[in-house]
Amino acid sequence: MLQEIHSLLSLLNIPIRFVEKPCEVKPYWVVELPSEECVKKLASRSILLKNCIELWSRAKSESQLHQNLKLALENKSNQWIISDGKENGNSDGDICPSSLIVACRPVEKSFKVEVETFCKHFSMKEKVEKIEKFEYLAFEGPVKLKNPDTMLSYIEFYGLDPNNVPEQPEDLFFGRWVADGQRDLIQFHSLKKRQFIGNTSMDAQLALIMANQAQVRGGDMVLDPFVGSGSLLVAAAHFGAYVYGSDIDYMMLHAKTRPTRVGQKVRAKEESIRGNMQQYGTRSKYLNVIVSDFSLPMWREDLRFDAIITDPPYGVREPTEKIGIDKDNYTLTEEHLLNHVPAKVDYGLVHIYRDLLNFAAKHLEIGRRLLCWYPLVREEYREEQLPSHPCLKLVANSEQVLSRLTARRLLTYEKTMDPGCDSLANGDGGEHNFREKYFNMGEATRQERKERKAAEIAAYTLRKAMQNQTDVT
């Protein structure tokens, strides 16, 4: 979440101050932003942000939370009262100005109070009892459960361990709802509802997050050089970008591969990347996709993209291929040239990532971003071994765990300068041979399971034999 929010703050030019530093054991941030308008701008783009609340009171106990709110009603200044827990001996939290509360009181303003808990469930009756304790706020308007003028949020946080829930909450919050994030887009773009998908179509949530971290905005031109079924193009087009894609797989780009959905025998006529764009109302943002070998660039030298977002093949579920032939001094006669289908050879990960970074350094606008997934064996991960380029700065690096042994990292590079004659990508870039190790690990794991099962059978047989001997005796 941190990487997406920082990318959006930079894109929208919004400064932020962390009242508390973000940490993995808390699903919330306490921050200061310049204005409510800035909050709404941020929420209008973020996929991982659930909602934003104007904080009126925070405490470690329910009684203290209510005491803070009562003190806030007496605070007639427009300034917050910062308390260290000792002032007047009765407060362990900051006191908001009464004007924040009074502004929501008028009789013409409807309101609603929502109770939310982390790691603990309350019945509706218990929630109503908690809501009634806020009666002293004296809101004069009517209660309206749907689309109220003012939404108030009461939150109790009981930690993140569902197997060890404390009796009392660790933290309590109360405030006015300001904006929701864009989590609804995850369902709107769900692969379950999409016309055209493939075996490796990118999950809708990850695709939208990648578009945000790439800082995609309206009017940008975005490329996916390993486009597949076009999930990343769909996400970029949603945020207003014009999208272009390429892939070496002719059958996929022409929707002639075997259908992915269970029970579907042939692909429907409308299945295509263009059809997906039509489905989401972004057909006007679709430039085209082209069958192309990424190792043999066919783009103009002066062409520039505003973002490159891609998920290169790893050689596991999709082959890593480029045009070539293993035979030495091979030539093609003219009579076979017209109908010739080029042969393909393995396109190693090391070469894929070096080509990708070199391409980005050459064809990205300065200050814009390349995002790509990078597979690895978890125990062998070293950040210094990640692919690098002198013209690209690694600004974000997040892990997605795939299994106990493997993972992939979402790498975000920002172009800092145009390349010179000797500016080439370097770094490991895949020399650890992920594909070979992936399948070797699979074989090792299967062998371990086989040996463990054999040992269990032998132990069970021995126990039964000993038990039978005891019974005879």
| Among the ranges given (70-79, 234-243, 306-315, 408-417), the one the predictor scored with the smallest mean pLDDT | 70-79
CA-wise closest residue to 202 among 265, 119, 273:
273
- Report pLDDT for 451: 64
Domain boundaries, the chain: 51-180, 187-432
- Token reading at 270: 């409308």
pLDDT in tens, 342-357: 788 888 888 999 999 9
Give the residues across from 242 on adjacent strands.
Answer: 221
Q: In which band, very low, low, confident or very high, does the pLDDT at 430 lie, cut at 50, 70 and 90?
A: very low
pLDDT, tens digit, for every residue of 166-178? Answer: 999 999 999 999 9
State the maximum Cα–Cα separation within the chain, in Å, rounded to a whole number. 96
Instruction: Specify the pLDDT at position 264.
Output: 85
The Cα-based distances of 258 to 123, 143, 261, 342 in angstroms read: 48, 55, 9, 22
The Cα-based distances of 259 to 252, 300, 315 in angstroms read 10, 35, 20
pLDDT of residue 416: 95
Angle at 285 between CA 398 and CA 239, to 5 degrees: 40
Q: Which residue has the higher pLDDT, 184 or 449?
A: 184
Q: What is the pLDDT of residues 296-315, one digit of tens each?
A: 988 999 999 999 999 999 87
Beta strands of 60-170 (E only): which ranges? 111-118, 150-157
CATH code for the part of the protein at 51-180: 3.30.2130
**Mean pLDDT, all residues of the chain:** 87
Burial environment of residue 135 by CB neighbours within 10 A (0 to 12, 13 to 18, 19 or more): exposed
Range of lowest pLDDT (45-54, 96-105, 325-334, 458-467): 458-467
Check residue 175 and report its DSSP letter. Answer: E
pLDDT at site 332:
74
Quick check: 230 and 189 in contact, CB under 8 A? no
DSSP state of 284: G
Q: Mind listing the pLDDT tens digit for each residue in 108-155?
A: 999 999 999 999 999 999 999 999 999 999 999 999 999 999 999 999
**Band of residue 83 on the pLDDT scale cut at 50, 70, 90:** low
pTM, rounded to two decimals? 0.85
Fold of 187-432: Rossmann fold (3.40.50)
Whether 450 shows a pLDDT value over 60: the answer reads yes
68 near 91, Cβ under 8 Å? yes
pLDDT at 424: 72
Which has more pLDDT, 373 or 457? Answer: 373
Residue 363 has φ and ψ, to the nearest 5°, of -110, 0
Three-state secondary-structure class, residue 285: helix
DSSP state of 388: B
